[in-house]
Structures are given as C-alpha cells and as structure tokens.
C-alpha cells in the first residue's frame, strides 16, 4: 500500500496494492501497522455504506464536536470526492481537495478530523464505504453549502445539470457562517 500526501495538510491518498490472477482480485483495505507507519494512527469505531444514483451530491458534512476521521473508498462505480480543511489553525484552512475515486483505481482518501467531506456520484450508481474514527452524533452534525463561493469547489457536473441533494444539504450553512475548528 502506498500513502501519498495531497496539497492539504494531513489529507492523504491511499493506493492499495492489488493482487490479481485468473480467480479475481485481492487487496488489503486497512492495515493498522502500515497506516501508522504512514502517519495515520486511527482507531475506527464505525463503518458506513452509501449507495447513490448519478448526480447525487452528499455533503459537505462534519461533526462540530466528536469530529470524525474517515477512510473513504468506492467499491462500485465512480465519485468525485471532496475534503475541505475547516481547521482555523491549519495553513490550508478553507482550501479543498477533490479526486475521482473509483472501484477500479483502488484508491482511498484519508480525511482526518477537522475536515468537511462530500462527494458527487459520477457513474449511474455508486457504492461508497467509509470507516469512521468516532460514532455518528446527529446533535453535532453540521453541513456547509456544497456550492459555497468562498470555497469554490469545481464539481464536475455536466453543464446545466443540478445535483440531487437532501433537504438538509440544500439548506446547508454558508462557509463564512459555519462552525469550524480552532
């Protein structure tokens, strides 16, 4: 497994080593020793699975208390995955990083606590799974508007297409008004 830095502080891409033969494919998706060697010392307490249709946009989500680190991957389909650094003390505060994550690329993204996260489904359907370092706490959940001009995420939506949003995401807070981390 190879862990690569991104332009945002502490956000990392994880490329799994893939073993393939006539029987199929095997890859290791989590190994605590290997991740710790790469500077990711996480204890996961919850796994989530999301199945979404094309142009579904989920996010930008985070928990203001009990922040979650997330190791995200796609097991079927393709998504544009985004993390936004919302740690005021970070040199990359307010910056975003996005990458296309697919089942075929065997790529995962480590999103440490202190980031807002979202994704846009590019394929007809995508199955997205993620491991979390803290439990879901709905009373602490927050959402930042997906198209906030102060962040300026370049979502790869076809011209004229509108994302499919939940009511919560459609009513999300502007970045400048959002609860952020110190």
C-alpha–C-alpha distance, residues 37 and 29, integer Å: 15
pLDDT reading at 1 higher than 90: no
- Which two structure tokens, joined as six digits, stand for 128? 């997205």
Dihedral Cα 24, 30, 34, 35, nearest 10 deg? 140
What's the pLDDT tens digit per position in 40-53?
989 999 999 999 99
Q: Which of 61, 62, 97, 117 is catalytic?
A: 61
pTM of the model: 0.93
**pLDDT score, position 7:** 95
pLDDT reading at 75 higher than 90: yes
**pLDDT score, position 119:** 98
Percentage with pLDDT > 70 across the chain:
100
pLDDT reading at 16 higher than 90: no
Please list, in sequence order, all residues whose beta carbon lies within 8 angstroms of the beta carbon of residue 65, skipping any fewer than 6 positions away.
137, 140
Question: Catalytic site residue 61?
Answer: yes
3-state SS assignment for residue 167: helix
Q: Which of 55, 97, 130, 136 is catalytic?
A: 130
Question: Catalytic site residue 117?
Answer: no
**pLDDT score, position 21:** 87
- Asked if residue 60 has a cis previous peptide bond (ω within 30° of 0), the answer is yes
Domain ranges of the chain: 2-177
What's the pLDDT tens digit per position in 87-144?
999 999 999 999 999 988 889 999 999 999 999 999 999 999 999 999 999 999 999 9
**pLDDT score, position 30:** 87
Give CATH for domain 2-177.
2.60.120.10
**pLDDT score, position 164:** 98
What one-character-per-residue DSSP string does 31-69 give? -HHHHHHTT------EEEEEEEETTBEEEEEEESSS---
Q: What angle do CA 16, 92, 103 make, to 5 degrees?
A: 25
What is the average pLDDT value for the chain, to the nearest integer? 94
C-alpha–C-alpha distance, residues 108 and 65, integer Å: 25
What's the farthest any 2 CA atoms get from each other in the chain?
54
């Amino acid at each position: 497994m190879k862990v690569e830095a991104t332009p945002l502080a502490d956000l990392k891409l994880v490329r799994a080593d893939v073993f393939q033969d006539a029987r199929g494919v095997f890859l290791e998706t989590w190994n605590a020793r290997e991740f710790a060697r790469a500077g990711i010392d996480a204890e996961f307490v919850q796994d989530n699975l999301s199945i979404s249709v094309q142009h579904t946009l989920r996010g930008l989500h985070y928990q203001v208390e009990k922040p979650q680190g997330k190791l995200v991957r796609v097991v079927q389909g393709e998504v544009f995955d985004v993390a936004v650094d919302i740690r005021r003390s970070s040199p990359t505060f307010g910056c975003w990083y996005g990458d296309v994550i697919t089942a075929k690329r065997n790529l995962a993204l480590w999103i440490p606590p202190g980031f807002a996260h979202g994704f846009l489904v590019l394929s007809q359907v995508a199955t997205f799974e993620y491991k979390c370092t803290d439990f879901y706490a709905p009373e602490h959940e927050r959402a930042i508007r997906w198209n906030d001009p102060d962040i300026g995420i370049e979502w790869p939506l076809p011209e004229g297409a509108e994302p499919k949003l939940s009511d919560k995401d459609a009513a999300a807070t502007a970045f400048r008004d959002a609860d952020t981390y110190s």
